[in-house]
Amino acid sequence: MRITDVQALYLRLPEIKARTDSSQDALLVRVETDAGITGWGEVDGCPWVTKAVIDAPMSHSLVTGLRALLLGEDPLDAARLWSKMYESTLYYGREGAVIQAMAGIDLALWDIKGKALDMPVWKLLGGRYRDKLRVYSSNMFQFTPEETADRVRIAKDTGFTAAKFGWEPFGQDPKTDCGYLDAMRKAAGDDFDLMLDVGLIWDATTTIQRAHLFEPYNLAWIEEPLHPDDLAGYRRVADHITQRLAAGEEECTLRGFRRLIDEGGVGLVQVDLTRCGLTQAMRIADYAAQRGVMVANHNFTTDLNTAASLHFLASIPNALILEYCVEPSEISRNLAKEPFHMQDGYMTVPDGPGLGFEPNAETIEKFLVGQI
Ligand SMILES: [Mg+2]
């Protein structure tokens, strides 16, 4: 079997709001083969840049677009092709956008392998430790504590046992923050996990002070209070707070996660499959397991990300919980022909061949944006 085409498809809502909400658009990767099998991947990055990284022609042997590298290759060789892409993009790659584009292709290659062998991807990753994942409702903070508490009630009423809230307008001052958490905890009751995603806005001292102040609200974790480059700050926070410290969604490589774990001291790494790919995510999870660190996914995009995350978290021993974005973007909700559903707080790991995701052609047609 040979790769015959690699395409980047950009879907976008008609109106994009200036919020930290990456469910407003989506970059899909489609890999075609001469066996008639199509693999699907996704990249949560900067869509036009991802598309350019895939489409670019070769400049020279260390600066090559990914499509040109893959045509004619065997799609079952995901690990070797990862190395080929990494080495052939060395002058402009190694981190960030190029690794994210590689991740989308890597997901599509695993999808092809599963379809070719008629097996679910979790089987190819070494077998599953569990057939369903506990899932949490992932939300943006609303603009008042009461509206945010309403979101907690909705999550609880629909069967979730955990919910996370993140980013603006949280974090501006201690009194307002406690007002939010108090309303959320009252709405949640005691038997419900609440997680906080701070959104990179504090320094280490502020984080330590707030974390102590927040102890009565029993947060299951505190996520990304600091800028991802402030590893010394993360280490200081990890050494001084009782809550679990979570981070990782900006990282794309094992190297980045090693720094977070070894230098930053985080207790939960959050791997976005659409930024790391499955080949590398398995190595990240293995490294985390060696260091006694738990793993969750990061997912604020589509059901393709959900599918990849389910296979990944099913196949590693140190999985904590599945993130599922409940922000109501039409692209997120309607992209899969058969959307994933939570039942009684859990999501079932797909059993069909490949990733278990097929896109809805109508959604692609409705939101597809043309060439630059
Ligand atoms: Mg986050």
Q: Do the Cβ atoms of 8 and 314 come closer than 8 Å?
A: no
Q: Cα separation of 367 and 372, whole Å?
A: 15
CA angle 228, 163, 99 (to 5 degrees): 35
Packing angle of the helix pair 204-213, 174-188 (nearest 10 deg): 40
pLDDT at 371 over 70: no
60: alpha, beta or left, given left = phi > 0 and alpha = psi -120 to 50? beta
pLDDT of residue 372: 46
Residue 298 known to be catalytic: yes
Ligand 1 centroid vs 224 CA: distance in angstroms?
7
Q: Cα separation of 52 and 208, whole Å?
A: 42
Ligand 1 centroid vs 198 CA: distance in angstroms?
8
- For the chain, the structural domain boundaries read 3-119, 124-348
Closest CA to 250 of 41, 3, 44, 21: 44
Ligand 1 centroid vs 164 CA: distance in angstroms?
9
Query: Mind listing the pLDDT tens digit for each residue in 26-84?
Result: 999 999 999 999 999 999 999 999 999 999 999 999 999 999 999 999 999 999 999 99
pLDDT at 150 over 80: yes
Residue corresponding to tokens 């469910």: 23
Residues 6+ apart with CB under 8 A from 183: 145, 146, 148, 149
pLDDT of residue 240: 98
Task: Evaluate whether 3-119 and 124-348 have a shared fold.
Answer: no
Ligand 1 centroid vs 138 CA: distance in angstroms?
9
Q: Stretch 157-162: mean pLDDT, rounded?
A: 97
Q: Do the Cβ atoms of 341 and 151 come closer than 8 Å?
A: no
Which residues are registered as beta bridge partners of 343? 346
pLDDT of residue 189: 98
Fold of 124-348: TIM Barrel (3.20.20)
Q: How does 1-22 read in b/e, with b if 16+ C-beta sit within 10 Å?
A: eebeebebbbbeeeeeeeeebb
What mean pLDDT is reported for the chain? 96
Find the catalytic residue in 227, 298, 311, 341.
Answer: 298
Which residues are registered as beta bridge partners of 11? 26, 368
Write the CA distances from 135 to 28, 158, 165, 224, 236, integer angstroms. 24, 12, 14, 20, 30
Q: Stretch 254-264: mean pLDDT, rounded?
A: 98
Q: Cα separation of 97 and 92, whole Å?
A: 9
Report residue 129 as tokens. 């430790």
Ligand 1 centroid vs 118 CA: distance in angstroms?
34
Ligand 1 centroid vs 368 CA: distance in angstroms?
27
Q: How does 180-202 read in b/e, with b if 16+ C-beta sit within 10 Å?
A: bbebbbebbeeebbbbbbbbbbb
Candidate from 164-173, 240-249, 328-337 with smallest mean pLDDT: 328-337
Element of type H or E holding 8:
strand 3-12
Ligand 1 centroid vs 62 CA: distance in angstroms?
33
Our measurement of the distance from residue 163's CA atom to the centroid of its chain's CA atoms, rounded to an integer in Å, reads: 16
Ligand 1 centroid vs 166 CA: distance in angstroms?
7
Ligand 1 centroid vs 197 CA: distance in angstroms?
5
Closest CA to 352 of 129, 42, 122, 134: 122
Q: Stretch 212-226: mean pLDDT, rounded?
A: 98
SS3 content of the chain, % helix, strand, coil (to 5): 40, 20, 40
Listed as own residue / partner, the contacts of 184-192 with beta carbons closer than 8 Å and 24 or more positions apart are 184/145, 184/148, 184/149, 184/152, 184/217, 185/217, 185/218, 186/149, 187/149, 187/150, 187/152, 187/153, 187/156, 188/152, 188/156, 188/163, 189/156, 190/218, 191/161, 192/152, 192/156, 192/161, 192/162, 192/163
pLDDT at 119 over 60: yes
pLDDT of residue 332: 85
Q: Among the CATH numbers 3.10.520.10, 3.30.390.10, 3.40.50.720, 3.30.479.30, which is that of 3-119?
A: 3.30.390.10
**Class of residue 258 by CB neighbours under 10 A (exposed 0-12, middle 13-18, buried 19+):** middle
pLDDT band at 327 (very low <50, low <70, confident <90, very high): confident
pLDDT of residue 333: 86
Ligand 1 centroid vs 342 CA: distance in angstroms?
20
Q: Cα separation of 51 and 64, whole Å?
A: 13
Residue corresponding to tokens 């036009």: 48
Query: Mind listing the pLDDT tens digit for each residue in 75-94?
Result: 999 999 999 999 999 999 99
- The predicted model scores a pTM of 0.96
Q: Cα separation of 183 and 144, whole Å?
A: 10
pLDDT band at 22 (very low <50, low <70, confident <90, very high): confident
Closest CA to 329 of 284, 287, 366, 282: 366
